[in-house]
């Protein structure tokens, strides 16, 4: 996966993820990871922002039987694939395949798309492409102002957060 530019990562609460999901996707519920692609005019320097719910990641880690750090890596990888242009809701399994390859190289367990029955599995079951309804993994609108969204969530947080850069 070739992804150039900075990525901001916000580790946040379910409350703030719900706020972001409601504001940018119109869904009034928390989720595990949101991706906010940068404006195409600046994608050489910035790729976008990721927001990850730590409480949700912890619950999912327990369900999957691995450490929180492992789940955070799975979620961040998934978000990075979205920032690289993959979209499991529309690509007939391309993102799922790419996620599987990268996870294998990194030694990570089953990915989010596989856990939810992903597009390739759904396509095999019903003979069509597309994501299974009810998938918990989401992607924010491309019309969002990504850095402002994550900065707003970070400043609104009433508990500790981590904001980092990855190049």
Six token digits for residue 47? 């790729």
Task: Work out the angle at residue 10's Cα, subtended by the Cα atoms of residues 6 and 154, and round it to the nearest 5 degrees.
Answer: 115
Q: What residues form DSSP beta bridges with 18?
A: none
pLDDT exceeds 50 at position 167: no
pLDDT over 50 (residue 130): no
Task: Tell me which of 56-60, 81-85, 130-134 is least confident.
Answer: 130-134
Q: What's the pTM value of the predicted model, to 2 decimals?
A: 0.74
Report the alpha-carbon distance of residue 34 to residue 41 in Å, rounded: 21
Q: What is the CA radius of gyration of the chain?
A: 15
Whole-number Å distance between alpha carbons of 116 and 51 = 20
Output the pLDDT for position 164.
39
Task: Identify the weakest region by mean pLDDT among 1-5, 67-71, 77-81, 136-140.
Answer: 136-140
Per-chain mean pLDDT for the chain:
77
Q: What average pLDDT does the segment 137-148 reach? A: 48
Instruction: Decide: residue 129, CB within 10 A, 0-12 exposed, 13-18 middle, 19+ buried.
Output: middle
Confidence of residue 21 (pLDDT cuts 50, 70, 90): very high
The DSSP symbol for 24 reads: H
Q: 1 falls in which pLDDT band (50, 70, 90)?
A: low
Angle at alpha carbon of residue 87, lines to 84 and 88, rounded to 5°:
135
């Amino acid at each position: 996966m070739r992804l150039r530019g900075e990525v901001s990562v916000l580790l946040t609460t379910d409350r703030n993820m719900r706020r972001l999901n409601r504001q940018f996707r119109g869904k009034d519920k928390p989720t595990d990871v949101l991706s906010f692609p940068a404006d195409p005019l600046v994608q050489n320097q910035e790729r976008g922002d990721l927001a990850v719910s730590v409480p949700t990641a912890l619950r999912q880690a327990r369900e999957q039987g691995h450490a929180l750090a492992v789940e955070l890596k799975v979620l961040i990888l998934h978000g990075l694939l979205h920032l690289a242009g993959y979209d499991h809701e529309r690509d007939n399994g391309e993102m799922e395949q790419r996620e599987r390859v990268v996870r294998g190289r990194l030694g990570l367990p089953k990915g989010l798309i596989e856990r939810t029955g992903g597009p390739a599995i759904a396509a095999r079951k019903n003979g069509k492409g597309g994501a299974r309804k009810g998938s918990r993994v989401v992607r924010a609108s491309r019309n969002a102002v990504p850095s402002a969204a994550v900065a707003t969530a970070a400043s609104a947080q009433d508990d500790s957060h981590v904001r980092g850069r990855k190049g």
